Amino acid sequence: MKRVVSAILICLIVISCSDSGGSSEKKNENIKPLVAAPAFDADQAYGFVQRQVDFGPRVPNSKAHKEASAWFKQQFESFGAKVYMQEFETVHYDGTKLELVNVIASFNPGVKKRILLAAHWDTRPFADRDSEDTNAPLDGANDGGSGVGVLMEVARVIGANEGPEVGVDIILFDGEDWGERDEERGASLPPGQETWWCLGSQYWSQNKHIPNYSAFYGILLDMVGAKDATFYYDGTSQQNAARVMTKVWDRGKALGHEKYFIPKLGMGNIVDDHVYVNKMARIPMIDIIDYRPAEKWSFTPVWHTQQDNMEGIDKNTLKVVGEVVLSMLYNE
């Protein structure tokens, strides 16, 4: 998941690039009074993360994986969403046959203007960055669980209140985090597949749940639950959805969250689900992802280790991200 490929020569892109689905509003849009969105409940979001962890590692083909997907469906339906379970199979680099499912929850399905929200819900099958047992599966509380927890609370809020005027589609992508280990890179890819990571987003982007589906823009959440998270710009988002990214980071500042949303280039081209939504689905999507420039792997110290558990989840970070997402929806 989410490997940084290049962190140079991106800075000059920001000024000149634009996105096909970006905002057409005037440059002073962000100084207009904001419509207050319904309250985001951090305790509820935390509980949604905890429930995922309680299932155990959500590794494809496992019992926990099957139980979690059924729970997602039940929860989203209870919030009033129309739910699609996009099941598909693939064979991984080591010959493992994977049974995967993208969970898609739609609100206001008849509305033409749509906003796409996404996170991945699977967990990495092995703790390859761990200092002790590199074969151990992970709880994936932050890496996977946090983004899903925020989106489930967003869905609950929409269902419990008068929803935004736009249509909202939430996709929980499967198979994002299997990938290969460092020593296993180079296996031949199946036709139409660009990487062993991000399997769910690659599949959905080429096989949308509704023919000709599109969205005004998309927001991907990845690792959005750790204390003192820092969300920087990434090169892929800037190249494909620069206006959307600027608008989201400006919204974070307007809500008093500038400590978290740092409007500077932090990383270059990162391998994450938004790459394939941009490239294959042609929907401008940005990535809100915790990036730590001082860390060895550029992410949190517990990334891809057994320490990615509930002890690392911070309710305030969940709330910050949830408030920004809700504000974006209710001000479209």
DSSP symbols for 105-116: EEESTT-SSEEE
Confidence of residue 274 (pLDDT cuts 50, 70, 90): very high
- Which amino acid is residue 201, in one-letter code? S
pLDDT, residue 188, reads 85
Of the listed ranges 137-141, 186-190, 307-311, 323-327, the one predicted with least confidence: 186-190
Which of 96, 241, 250, 102 lies closest to 178, judged by CA?
A: 96
pLDDT, residue 264, reads 96
Alpha helices in the chain (DSSP H): 13-16, 42-55, 63-78, 147-160, 199-206, 235-254, 273-279, 315-330
Confidence of residue 94 (pLDDT cuts 50, 70, 90): confident
**Chain segment 100-122, per-residue pLDDT in tens:** 999 999 999 999 999 999 999 99
Mean pLDDT value of segment 267-292: 96
**Chain segment 210-261, per-residue pLDDT in tens:** 999 999 999 999 999 999 999 999 999 999 999 999 999 999 999 999 999 9
**Chain segment 253-262, per-residue pLDDT in tens:** 999 999 999 9
**CB neighbourhood size of 4 (10 A):** 18
pLDDT, residue 115, reads 98
Is pLDDT of 6 > 90? no
Confidence of residue 269 (pLDDT cuts 50, 70, 90): confident
Is pLDDT of 30 > 60? no
Is pLDDT of 204 > 80? yes
Of the listed ranges 15-19, 226-230, 306-310, the one predicted with least confidence: 15-19
Q: Which two tokens stand for residue 250?
A: 């400006």
Q: How far apart are CA 96 and CA 43, in angstroms?
A: 38
Mean pLDDT value of segment 22-45: 74
Q: How far apart are CA 230 and CA 304, in angstroms?
A: 18
Mean pLDDT value of segment 127-149: 96
Q: Which two tokens stand for residue 245?
A: 């990214």
Q: What is the pTM of this model?
A: 0.91
pLDDT, residue 33, reads 85
**Chain segment 57-93, per-residue pLDDT in tens:** 999 999 999 999 999 999 999 999 999 999 999 998 8
> Pairing state of beta strands 82-91 and 114-120?
unpaired
* pLDDT-above-70 percentage for the chain: 90
pLDDT, residue 17, reads 42
Confidence of residue 2 (pLDDT cuts 50, 70, 90): low
* pLDDT-above-90 percentage for the chain: 82
> Pairing state of beta strands 285-289 and 82-91?
unpaired
The single residue listed with the structure tokens 């005037």 is 26
Looking at every residue in the chain, the average pLDDT score rounds to: 91
Is pLDDT of 321 > 80? yes
Is pLDDT of 183 > 80? no
